[in-house]
Amino acid sequence: MAKLTMVEAINLALKQEMERDPSVVVLGEDVGKNGGVFRVTQGLYEQFGDARVADTPLSESAIVGVAIGMAVYGLRPVAEIQFEGFIYAAMEQLISHASRIRTRSRGRYYCPLVLRMPYGGGIRAPEHHSESNEALLVHTPGLKVVAPSTPYEAKGLLVSAIRDPDPVIFMEPKRVYRAIKEEVPEEEYSIPLGQSRIVTEGRDVTVISWGAMLQATLKAAALMGERGIRSEVIDLRSLSPLDDETIIESVKKTRRAVIVHEAPRTCGLGAELVARINEKALLYLEAPVERVTGFDTVMPLPKLEQHYLPNAERVVEAMDRVLNF
Amino acid sequence: MAKLTMVEAINLALKQEMERDPSVVVLGEDVGKNGGVFRVTQGLYEQFGDARVADTPLSESAIVGVAIGMAVYGLRPVAEIQFEGFIYAAMEQLISHASRIRTRSRGRYYCPLVLRMPYGGGIRAPEHHSESNEALLVHTPGLKVVAPSTPYEAKGLLVSAIRDPDPVIFMEPKRVYRAIKEEVPEEEYSIPLGQSRIVTEGRDVTVISWGAMLQATLKAAALMGERGIRSEVIDLRSLSPLDDETIIESVKKTRRAVIVHEAPRTCGLGAELVARINEKALLYLEAPVERVTGFDTVMPLPKLEQHYLPNAERVVEAMDRVLNF
Amino acid sequence: MPKRTIQSFQVEWLQVLDEHGNCDEELRPPLSDKEIQKLYEYMVLARILDEKSFKLQREGRLGTYASILGQEAAQVGSAFALQPSDWMFPSFREAGASVVRGLPLRMILQYWSGDERGSQIPEGQNDFPITIPVGTHIPIAAGAAWAAKMKGDNIAVMAYLGDGATSKGDFHEGLNFAGVFSLPVVFLCQNNQWAISVPLSRQTRSKTLAQKAIAYGFDGIQVDGNDVFAVYQAANEAVKRARSGGGPTLIECVTYRMGDHTTADDASRYRKEEDVQEWRKKDPIDRLKKYMAARGLWDEAYEQRVTAAAREQVEVAVTEEEAVPPPDPRDMFRYTFAELTDELKGQMEHFLGGDGRVRL
Amino acid sequence: MPKRTIQSFQVEWLQVLDEHGNCDEELRPPLSDKEIQKLYEYMVLARILDEKSFKLQREGRLGTYASILGQEAAQVGSAFALQPSDWMFPSFREAGASVVRGLPLRMILQYWSGDERGSQIPEGQNDFPITIPVGTHIPIAAGAAWAAKMKGDNIAVMAYLGDGATSKGDFHEGLNFAGVFSLPVVFLCQNNQWAISVPLSRQTRSKTLAQKAIAYGFDGIQVDGNDVFAVYQAANEAVKRARSGGGPTLIECVTYRMGDHTTADDASRYRKEEDVQEWRKKDPIDRLKKYMAARGLWDEAYEQRVTAAAREQVEVAVTEEEAVPPPDPRDMFRYTFAELTDELKGQMEHFLGGDGRVRL
Ligand SMILES: Cc1ncc(C[n+]2csc(CCOP(=O)(O)OP(=O)(O)O)c2C)c(N)n1
Ligand SMILES: Cc1ncc(C[n+]2csc(CCOP(=O)(O)OP(=O)(O)O)c2C)c(N)n1
Ligand SMILES: [Mg+2]
Ligand SMILES: [Mg+2]
């Protein structure tokens, strides 16, 4: 089996889904000849042509709006927002239309749209190129939100996202894009949406993260492992809907939890996870659930970004706190 | 002292601040001759003229963008978004500029902008006219978010918002606009931002809400009072930043908490409050904090809205649950 | 070395039937007498439905309603150019166009009564539900047109919008996409001079809305929006051009919002009755009536028949609508996704009283 | 009854200095010899700074950088028309304009090195920081212009944007506001034919970008963007018109992005070297040099002096920038609001190791 980067795995998923289903089309800025600024769509233009791999004008709101129209008409558009920091212009289309065409029309119309976007920091990018805004999307009823953490995961989840009959936001941790390689089957497989994944089993503490933060989390778990602490690391995968069962079962077992995300702390997805643990497993908790997150400040430019982003050290400290509460 | 509705109280605050400070200007759709679709700006056009009370084109993104430019140039714009459901188009201006001009320019520029918007359901309005999207704004570093609950509160908080050197989103619970009258001093007063308010003191359970939900909460507290339960009702007032001290002190005292908001449940502001209580008062809790919220569905059209919105009955049930856990 | 003109543009104005019912037969679209009567009948039906809706709202039997009074020609003339296979994207003030499209009148009322089922467009009818956030359906319409083009479907998409909508970013982005990809879409702008209380002069400094098409490299035309022939003529040309690969068109119908913005509005706060009076003389139904009378296509007996039939249709719709049982609150949850997620199932069960409470 | 033309529009093209250095003296703006030399010196300085920035990036001494190569005339010519009291809103590719505005070169480097202090524009200099989200500064610039107008300040605002930016909703909304309120703002569009890999033909179907002004009811003009005289002339007229209450102008400078989009891009993936070659002949610096040489304003000794001085200035800036101590991480928190909130104080203390950990 070939070892692929996440960029290659996503590319493969796109290629195979386009081969399988002629209604799958790709659109966005620079997705054509250029193959995407991260090369995620490389080769698709050559293989499928201009009609199915379309460079668009620089219009985030219309990229999403037009994709909604395509989806409603019967296509399966996979639209790209070049960086997560440029999605705000498309919020009206996402919140006011994509997420609610099905319910507004009581099922007459629906919107099988995938919106891919690289997200997160750590690659020394300019302003707005390093944000982690999943909470805005998770708070929007009617959207599904997925964040793969590894190449294998990315391929399997994207296949499910494309085949899903509802809008899926597919958040790609750009820091992972080329950071790790993994065996990724050429053959078709899919990973169902809505399910989290236990990466390492353990009984002492549950650590929940997703996307690029999984790497820091695993590193922290390994460091703690050297000290005899057995962490149960959960890759959230599906940010909306949430997989309460996996999370709650784990916390009931370990009685301690740490949540790790890049986004600002206040009203981040971490808060929701704490709230659910509080609701469903309060009496099991031996310590307050800890959140290791970005600060409630603007994500800084590269010279300060390493201070902003959670890292293994900060995760270890939080694990220590829940263990020694 | 005159008894005023919230509409009248806000109108009075605007009028007095415009009289006090010539740099205060009002802009938005229909704010001029028409006096605003809710009459909040009534009379201002006549008093201050077209130059300071400007009807704008139908362009939410530019209303905010232009107001940012005005603020940066040295004015104190008070912009109106006609209904909260139309703010999404302005998210890019809010998140990518208003909230971060100060930090981006390391203090050289800043943005003393107030963005007023009616929010929330319960008035049988069309789609998008009944949303409660405070969590999106609270999750954005660099914005302050305020939601008054009564006429008196509205006047005092708006004065502070206008005088604040940073962008403040002023969320007006439209259901309260004319629902209650209250004595509101003609004289100048202000209520500092960042502080919550204990509405009724009590020792048995803390109930936190804001905006229009305060009415349902108080009704529930009264019903529980008949059963001898003494509720400590907190009007959150400042949604960002949060007043942890007031909340945590109260929960430490009552050991039980219920949070009430209209917004969808997942990643709503309620989750953040639960997370903070978890972090700072876990060991005090006798029961999981309960959230009484909108559902994770689109806010329905009028025929179903009463099923969506939290009411006193649902608050009472949640209070019962935390009391009988 | 040059300072020279490199581009020139013209904006044209089309009127076929003036306010006195005089018709330029050369410009008149080749409609049969039957079709002309059909146009008339649709306009009458639209107006009677509109009057009834307004009354129902005042009686508390309908929610906020947006009247189309005065805009019947713009709506009926344009929708009349569409085939059932074409797609139609209304804004929120298109009861007249929806009538032509054949949307059950009951559903129009149901929508304004605050019931999502009014937007459950019948299978096979290619109409989008009403869009409330102004202008945001424009890129969606462009996207549907793009999909049609990709699939090789020989159809046109028509998107309705108001003068206010031309100020929204989505108007710009949508029309720009339509231009770049030469999409089969017609943007039908009803310039009724007002966006609630904001007059056209506060919406744009451009003399016409039609000229905005120049920015996107395709044609815009301004027509007398109270002249059903002119509207039909322009729409029909544009729709045909779209279907045959000629790309998009922007049509500005100059008309007037005779009523309040909605039943929640009071236009007397911001405009003079005289201005409205001026436009009463230009009524779209009157002028067609005059023309038809002169041509022998209209007489009192016909008028009676037409209005009686329309009244009957509307009354039936009202009765039907009011007989519909209230929506099932479970619908809030059911249609969020194709399948109810566990989370929503939980919330619905909680709502239904899973822990002992019954709410239904 | 009419189908008649009701509006006509022209778009003009202005070129003063052709690529061979031939000048139309009648059209030439009345600049003194000194001023002409100043224009030249700014362009040379801009280019040398640009080359240096590119090199520093390649050496790992600077972050992602967006080259202005080829666009010197468009930037220098336009910024030269501004007074210090005027306001300037750059996009992200305006190092040339910033040089003219007097932004310390050190700060330009500092910004691209990933340090917010590069955006801490010196007090008294009315330049906005770089805006990364394309086109979003346009309504902000309009707002500043509106504020200036309200305050009676006799200034103009200039907002820079690219061809790609014309597709954004904010372009539309911002220009529309500027038209409606007749604001003192100049929109200076550098049409460099590309938005990363997307060519102009995918950005719009309109033949020019200048014609987009027609949609907003004000003037647009297309100029040879590699002709510093034409750019200056158009900018100067527009800025004066703005200051004197004549409202906004859109200027399209036709130019070419000679380099990659940024140092993170590889343009050979999507465009042919031949196309770039064509534009090399139109180099803005060469043609001014030829003109100046013919007028006796340029010789080798002058060239040596000018480049040496520019090199020196740039080297000093690099040294200065690299000597700046790294930013204090506390700055992340400090500038979020005027006053640190309790919440942020807590987060900062936690970050600083309030519980025993030291991170600085
Ligand atoms: C994005 C958005 N902003 C504001 C509103 C509130 N609103 C409803 S209709 C309207 C005016 C629309 O004017 P126009 O486009 O001319 O349509 P008309 O009402 O004249 O049919 C406004 C401001 C809205 N629905 N959507
Ligand atoms: C809203 C937004 N979308 C996407 C990007 C990524 N991006 C950066 S520059 C650019 C192209 C800009 O083209 P143009 O406006 O012509 O300016 P130029 O780069 O040619 O100077 C893109 C797509 C961005 N910065 N902002
Ligand atoms: Mg209108
Ligand atoms: Mg460009």
Cross-chain residue pair D63–A124, CB shorter than 8 Å: yes
Task: Looking at the structure, tell me whether residues A143 and A48 fall in a common domain.
Answer: yes
The verdict on residue C134 lying in a domain is yes
Query: Do C302 and C343 fall into the same domain?
Result: no
Residue A287's pLDDT is 97
Query: How far apart are alpha carbons B95 and B99 in whole angstroms?
Result: 6
- Cβ-based contacts of B104 with chain A (< 8 Å): 127, 298
Any domain includes B190: no
Q: D198 and A308 in contact by Cβ < 8 A?
A: no
Cβ < 6 Å from ligand 2: which residues?
Answer: A 29, 58, 60, 82, 86; D 93, 132-134, 162-165, 192, 194-196, 257, 261
pLDDT single digits (tens) C77-121: 999 999 999 999 999 999 999 999 999 999 999 999 999 999 999
Partner residue facing A104 (CB), from C129, C170, C180: C129
As a whole number, the mean pLDDT across chain D is 96
Q: Report percent pLDDT > 70 for chain C.
A: 98
Q: What is the mean pLDDT of chain B?
A: 98
DSSP line for B121-138: S-S---TTSS---HHHHH
Tell whether the model's pLDDT for residue D135 goes beyond 60. yes
**D6 located within any domain:** no
Mean pLDDT of the region B253-282: 98
Does the pLDDT of residue C256 top 80, yes or no?
A: yes
Question: What CATH number has the domain bearing residue B168?
Answer: 3.40.50.970
Interface test with B, best of D115, D131, D146, D185 (most B CBs within 10 A): D146
* Residue A189, domain member (yes or no): no
Residue with tokens 């319960």: B122
CA dist A115 and A61 (Å) reads: 12
Question: What would the two tokens of residue D75 be?
Answer: 């930037």
Which of the four pLDDT bands, split at 50, 70 and 90, describes residue D31? very high
Ligand 4 centroid – CA C28 distance (Å): 46
Residue B189 domain flag = no
Could you tell me if C194 and C294 lie in one domain? yes
Q: Are residues A160 and A249 both part of a single domain?
A: no
Which residues, numbered 147 to 176 in chain A, qualify as contacts with chain B under a Cβ-Cβ cut-off of 8 Å?
Answer: none
CA of D168, closest atom in ligand 2: 1
Reported as a pLDDT band with limits 50, 70 and 90, residue D172 is very high
Shared domain check, A145 and A46: yes
Q: So what's the pLDDT on residue B1?
A: 85
D248 with D185: CB under 8 angstroms?
Answer: yes
Residues D343 and D302 reside in one and the same domain? no
For the CA atoms of chain A, what is the radius of gyration? 19
Cβ-based neighbour number of residue C5 at 10 Å:
11
**H, E, C per residue of D150-161:** HHCCCCCEEEEE
Cα of first residue to Cα of last residue in chain D, in angstroms, is 80
Classify residue B157: in a domain, yes or no: yes
- Are D88 and D245 spatial neighbours (Cβ–Cβ below 8 Å)? no
Do B247 and B276 meet the contact criterion of CB atoms below 8 Å apart?
Answer: yes
Please say if the pLDDT value at position D358 is more than 70. no
Q: Which residues pair with B117 in a beta bridge?
A: B171
Average pLDDT on D181-204 reads 98
Question: What tokens were used for D240?
Answer: 């004066």
Which residue from B minimizes the CA distance to D129? B105
Separation of alpha carbons D277 and C45, rounded Å: 65
The verdict on a CB contact (< 8 Å) between B109 and D121 is: yes
Indicate whether C192 belongs to any domain: yes
Residue D321 in 3-state DSSP?
helix
Give the residue on D whose Cα is nearest the Cα of C12: D5
Task: For residue A306, give the nearest of A83, A147, A174, A130 by alpha carbon.
Answer: A130
Structure confidence at residue D3 as a pLDDT band (50, 70, 90): confident
Which two structure tokens, joined as six digits, stand for A234?
């959960």
- Do residues D321 and D110 lie in contact, with contact meaning Cβ atoms separated by under 8 Å? yes
Which residue is associated with the tokens 């200035």?
A: D313
Degrees, nearest 5: CA angle D77-D82-D85: 160
User: Can you tell me the mean pLDDT for B261-265?
Assistant: 98
Domain membership of residue A191 (yes or no) is no
Q: Is C223 within a domain?
A: yes
Question: Residue D261 domain-assigned?
Answer: yes
Looking at chain D, the whole-number percentage of residues with pLDDT higher than 90 is 97
Task: Name which of B204, B214, B160 is nearest B182 in CA terms.
Answer: B214
Q: Cβ(A239)–Cβ(A134) under 8 Å?
A: yes
How far away is chain C from the Cα of B41, in angstroms, using its nearest Cα?
13
Q: Which domain holds residue A128?
A: 3-183
Chain D neighbors (3+ CB pairs < 8 Å): A, B, C
Q: For residue C2, what pLDDT is reported?
A: 67
> Are B307 and C326 inside 8 Å of each other by CB?
no
Interface probe for A, chosen from D93, D119, D202, D358 (most Cβ of A below 10 Å), is: D202
Nearest to A295 among D135, D164, D333 (CB): D333
Same structural domain, D138 and D246 = yes
From residue D316, alpha-carbon distances to D99, D104, D313 in Å are 15, 11, 5
Closest listed ligand to the CA of A28: 2
Confirm if B104 and A127 have CB atoms less than 8 A apart.
Answer: yes
Between β-strands B231-235 and B197-200, what pairing exists: parallel, antiparallel or unpaired? Answer: antiparallel
B278 touches chain A (CB under 8 A): yes
* Mean pLDDT computed over A262-291: 98
Instruction: Supply the pLDDT for residue D353.
Output: 82
CA distance D137 to chain B (A): 8
Number of separate domains in chain C: 2
Look at the alpha carbons of C234, C235, C236, C241 in this order and tell me if their dihedral is positive or negative: positive
Residue of D nearest to A33 (CA): D270
% of chain A at pLDDT higher than 70: 100
Q: State whether the Cα torsion A154-A170-A55-C178 is positive or negative.
A: positive
Distances (CA, A) of C73 to B53, B259, C108, C164, C229: 36, 53, 19, 19, 8
Report which of A291, A277, A83 is spatially closest to residue A175, judged by C-alpha positions: A83
Strand partners, A171: A117
Assigned token pair, C195: 């966006």
- Give the bridge partners for D88, in sequence order: D127, D158
Q: Taking CB atoms and an 8 Å cutoff, what residues of chain D touch B64? A: 139
The closest residue, in CA terms, to atom 8 on ligand 2 is: D134
Taking the CB of residue A156, how many other CB atoms lie within 10 A of it?
22
- Residues D275 and D153 occupy one common structural domain: yes
Mark whether D319 and D293 lie in a shared domain.
Answer: yes
Which residues of D are catalytic, by number?
257, 261, 270
Q: Is the dihedral of CA D230, D236, D242, D244 positive or negative?
A: negative
**Considering only CA atoms, which of A69, A28, A25 is closest in space to residue C157?**
A69
The pLDDT assigned to A41 comes to 98
pLDDT at C360: 46
One domain, residues C211 and C335:
no
pLDDT of D217 over the 80 cut = yes
B177 and B213 both lie in a single domain? no
Domain boundary among A183, A210, A235: A183
What's the ipTM? 0.98
Q: Is A320 on the interface with D (CB under 8 A)?
A: no
User: Are C169 and D173 within 8 A, CB to CB?
Assistant: yes
Chain D interface test: which of A58, A299, A313 (most D C-beta within 10 Å): A58
Task: Note the pLDDT tens digit of each residue in C66-83.
Answer: 999 999 999 999 999 999
Cβ pair A295:B270 closer than 8 A: no
Strands (E), A45-176: 53-55, 76-80, 114-119, 144-146, 168-173
Shortest Cα–Cα distance, C333 to chain B (Å): 6
Q: What is the pLDDT of residue C129?
A: 98
Residue of D nearest to B94 (CA): D136
CATH of the domain at B262: 3.40.50.920
For residue D1, pLDDT over 60 is answered with no
Last residue of a domain, one of A183, A207, A229: A183
Place of tokens 């309030």: D354
Among positive and negative, which fits the CA dihedral A180, A181, A185, A186?
A: positive
- Return the structure tokens found at D2: 């009419």
By percentage, how much of chain B surpasses pLDDT 70?
Answer: 100
The whole-number average pLDDT for the span A186-213 is: 98
pLDDT of residue C356: 45
pLDDT average, residue stretch C179-205 = 98
Q: Which of A129, A139, A261, A307 is catalytic?
A: A129
Residues in contact with A116: Cβ distance below 8 Å, sequence separation at least 6, in sequence order? A10, A28, A40, A78, A79, A80, A81, A158, A170, A172
Chain C from 17 to 56: CB within 8 A of any B CB: none
Region B223-245: what's the mean pLDDT?
98
Comparing CA positions, the residue from B139, B138, B143 lying closest to residue B110 is B143
Structure confidence by residue, pLDDT tens digits, B155-190 = 999 999 999 999 999 999 999 999 999 999 999 999
Mean pLDDT of D43-48: 98
| B162 sits in which H/E element | helix B151-163
Considering the domain boundaries, does residue B41 fall inside one? yes
pLDDT attached to residue C354: 54
The alpha carbon of residue B73 is apart from the nearest alpha carbon of chain D, in Å, by: 5
- Whether D100 maps to a domain, the answer reads yes
What spacing in Å lies between the alpha carbon of C161 and ligand 1's midpoint? 9
Query: How many CB atoms are closer than 10 A to CB D99?
Result: 28
User: A106 and A203: one domain?
Assistant: no
Contact criterion met (CB below 8 Å) for A120 and A173 = yes
Residue nearest (by alpha carbon) to ligand 2 atom 21: D162
Q: Which atom of ligand 2 is nearest to the CA of D133?
A: 26
Q: Report yes or no on C272 lying in a domain.
A: yes
Whether residue B301 lies inside any domain: the answer is: yes
For residues D46 and D159, membership in a common domain is answered with yes
Same domain, C212 and C89: yes
Contact D143 B165 (CB under 8 A): no
* Cβ atoms D109, D62 nearer than 8 A: yes
Band of the pLDDT at A1, cuts 50, 70, 90?
A: confident
What is the CA D30 to chain-centroid distance, rounded? 23
Cβ atoms B241, A267 nearer than 8 A? no
| Closest CA of chain C from B56, distance in Å | 6
**Residue C358 — pLDDT band, cuts 50, 70, 90?**
very low
The subunits that touch chain B, with at least 3 C-beta pairs less than 8 Å apart, are A, C, D
3-state secondary structure A209-246: ECCCHHHHHHHHHHHHHHCCCCEEEEECCEEECCCHHH
Could you read off the pLDDT of B111-122 as tens digits, one per residue? 999 999 999 999
- Count CB atoms within 10 A of the CB of residue C325: 5
On whether both C359 and C257 belong to a single domain, the answer is: no
Together in a domain, D282 and D340: no
Q: State whether residue D133 sits within 8 Å of chain A by CB.
A: yes
Predicted confidence (pLDDT) at residue D360 exceeds the cutoff of 50? no
On whether both B23 and B167 belong to a single domain, the answer is yes
- The three-state secondary structure class of D88 is strand
pLDDT average, residue stretch C200-220? 98
CB contact under 8 A, C327 and B303: yes
Among all residues of C, which ones are annotated catalytic?
257, 261, 270
Which of B153, B183, B213 terminates a domain? The answer is: B183
CB contact under 8 A, A244 and C342: yes
Q: Are residues A170 and A110 in the same domain?
A: yes
Atom number in ligand 1 closest to CA C132: 25
A237 φ/ψ sector (left φ>0, alpha ψ -120 to 50, else beta): left
Nearest CA in chain C to D168: C173
Query: How near does any CA of chain B get to the CA of D64, in Å?
Result: 17
Q: Is C206 within 8 Å of D216 when comparing Cβ atoms?
A: yes
SS3 of residue D234 by DSSP: helix
| Pairwise CA distance, residues B283 & B248, whole Å | 12
Structural domain total, chain B? 2
Q: Is D207 on the interface with C (CB under 8 A)?
A: yes
The pocket around ligand 1, CB under 6 angstroms, is made up of B 29, 58, 60, 82, 86; C 93, 132-134, 162-165, 192, 194-196, 257, 261
For β-strands D194-195 and D198-199, DSSP reports them as antiparallel
pLDDT at C285 over 90: yes
Can you tell me the distance from the alpha carbon of C152 to that of C154, in angstroms, rounded to the nearest whole number?
6
* B135 and B212 belong to one structural domain: no
Q: Over the stretch A144-184, which tens digit does the pLDDT of each residue have? A: 999 999 999 999 999 999 999 999 999 999 999 999 999 99
Instruction: Find where tokens 């039943």 sit.
Output: C263
**Domain range for C354:** 328-360
pTM: 0.98
Q: Are residues D214 and D336 in the same domain?
A: no
